[in-house]
Amino acid sequence: MLTSLSIKNYALIDQLQVDFNDGLSIITGETGAGKSILLGGLSLILGKRADLSSLKDNTQKCIVEAVFNVSNYKLQALFKDEDFDYDDQTIIRREILPSGKSRAFVNDSPVNLSSLQNLGERLIDIHSQHQTLQLTNNDFQFQIIDALANNEESLHKYKKELKQFKTLEKEYSELVSFQAEAIKEHDYHSFLLKELLEANLVDGELKFLEDEYETLNNIEGIKEKLLESYELLNAEQIGVLPTMTALKNSLQKLAGFSAKYDDIYNRVNSSLIEMDDIFGEIENLQDDVEANPSRLEDVDAKLKVIYNLMQKHVASDISELLKIQTELEEKVSFTENLDDTIQKKQNEIDAQTKILDGISEVIHDNRIVAIPKLKSQLEILLASLGMPNAQFKIEAEYSKTFFANGKDALSFLFSANKGGSFNELKKAASGGELSRIMLAIKSVLSNYMQLPTIMFDEIDTGVSGEISNKMGDIMLQMSKTMQVFSITHLPQIAAKGHSHFKVFKEDVNEVTQTNLIKLNHDERIVEIAQMLGGIEMSSSAIAHAKELLN
């Protein structure tokens, strides 16, 4: 419930601070006194977009702050989802800066407007002519029925499963579309894969093949150089090995004369052993080097295949080609197995359909039970509001389509006159009748669910006498379970409030200002008497005002 409201520098309001109680609060005032300004300030708290022109003094910022007791509203989950700091006494503040920028805060934490709107609609329901048009909205009509049907838990479960169902349908549609495209590319991908598989690629073999090609392609030159090396090492007169052997023998004799020659002898001996080993390796290489035209042709062909594949796939080495080969294998395999994948997805959709059907039937059955109750209660209330022949024809027909709130197609028809035909509300009811229907609906809903604070903005327009008295009784009954505000011009309704506030204009230092004050008992008598008989109050108007209050 709204416990206090503070408005500073907004429209004709310089500064206003007022506290509110639970029950039924009445707001009265002359036409043009500023009731719409009050609602405008309150709407900023609920997330309405700010307008720089609403600043009273455009050199100062506008501040609107409201305190709500939200302990009974079960809003902890909403606060968590929106990342608000929860407090039973929640403070919402809205600021409009002279620059035109707007800021909003919930419990001193900055929030965006969409989040503020989500919270605001759970705190205050401002009933206006615009909201009366909700009556003709199919979703709103379902909300009324579902409140009586106690469908909240089932609808929550249904919406969760419907989300999963739509996800599965989307995935199925994407698979079918992908299959149509994949089939077109399947042959090409298969051709590319076949090329890569037939190449029998091995990671790292490119360098080995290139080395082998260079060897086979230059075999005669290699033979010539190996023979030349062989002869340089082993020629009888000038060969390295005979010369080093003679050197070794000469130094060996020196080593016999003195130990200081041992080191040079050992070094020459080690070099001779190494050169002898090199000679043996050259002999082996000569034995291995043979011309092999057939092998050269095979290596050349394999290299050409690899080079062509690298060029075609823009790859720098075989490892990249193997990666592309793996990707093609996956694409080809996926395409070839798409029928199975699509069938599995269809099976999931079928299973999800059964789950939704089960929940939908529960929702439908509950609605069928609730509709006669709603019809009866509304018709009784409307009869007391001067519409004795009002009748509703409400039907929920179970369909094959999954809608956002079940499988029911709703027909919500109305007839205001005896013997009249049933038609849609927007065609069958006048503006004044729609207002009374909305009041009756809100009254019924207040018995079945915790409604936010409701503010009726001149819902009594166009009615008087006993009907206005009954409207006041209905609002008074509603206020037993919720906080109700009524902006009214009717004394019969004004007298029923637990609290009474007056909106008025006054000139301060030659500047017009709007203010709001809470009336005491005597002030209420005066206000209601003026509502009955005008500024020049008669003794009978005062007596009538006292009678209404008593």
**Cα–Cα–Cα angle for 293, 298, 304, nearest 5°?**
125
**Between 487 and 216, residue with greater pLDDT:** 487
pLDDT tens digit string along 354-374? 999 999 999 999 999 999 999
Residue with tokens 């039924």, as numbered in its chain: 24
- Note every long-range contact of 477-482, with CB atoms under 8 Å and residues 24 or more positions apart, other chains counting: 477/443, 478/24, 478/442, 478/443, 478/446, 478/454, 479/22, 479/23, 479/24, 480/23, 481/446, 481/447, 481/450, 482/1, 482/446, 482/450, 482/451, 482/452, 482/453, 482/454
Among 518, 482, 521, which Cα is nearest to 18's?
A: 518
pLDDT over 70 at 129, yes or no: no
Residue 467, beta-bridge partner list: none
Most confident of 173-187, 329-343, 432-446: 432-446
Where do we find the tokens 């609602």? 39
Q: Give dist(CA 249, CA 259) in Å, integer.
A: 16
pLDDT for position 132: 65
The whole-number average pLDDT for the span 31-50 is: 85
DSSP 349-416: HHHHHHHHHHHHHHHHHHHHHHHHHHHHHHHHHHHHTT-TT-EEEEEEEEEEEEETTEEEEEEEEEE-
- Rounded CA-CA distance 35/24 in Å is 17
Evaluate the CA torsion angle 269, 271, 277, 280 in order and state its sign: negative
Domains of the chain as residue ranges with CATH: 1-123+453-519 (3.40.50.300), 133-183+332-451 (1.20.1050), 205-316 (no CATH)
- C-alpha to C-alpha distance for 297 and 301, rounded to whole angstroms: 6
Contact 269, 248 (CB under 8 A): yes
Q: Find tokens 């608000």 and name the residue.
A: 84
pLDDT beyond 90 at 178: no
Half-sphere exposure of 136 (CA within 13 A, CB side): 17
Quick one: pLDDT band at residue 299, thresholds 50, 70, 90?
Answer: confident
Orientation angle between helical segments 152-198 and 318-336, nearest 10 degrees: 130
pLDDT at 230: 75
pLDDT the model gives residue 462: 75
**Range in 72-86, 241-255, 343-357, 397-411 with the lowest mean pLDDT:** 241-255
pLDDT band of residue 436 (cuts 50, 70, 90) is: confident
pLDDT at position 130 = 59
**Which pLDDT score, from 0 to 100, does residue 258 have?**
72
Note whether 529 and 545 are within 8 A (CB): yes
pLDDT at 290 over 80: no
Under the banding of pLDDT at 50, 70 and 90, the label for residue 133 is low
CB 496 within 8 A of CB 28: no
Average pLDDT over residues 31-43: 84
Looking at per-residue pLDDT, the higher value among 122 and 334 belongs to: 122
The pLDDT, as a whole number, for residue 131 is: 63
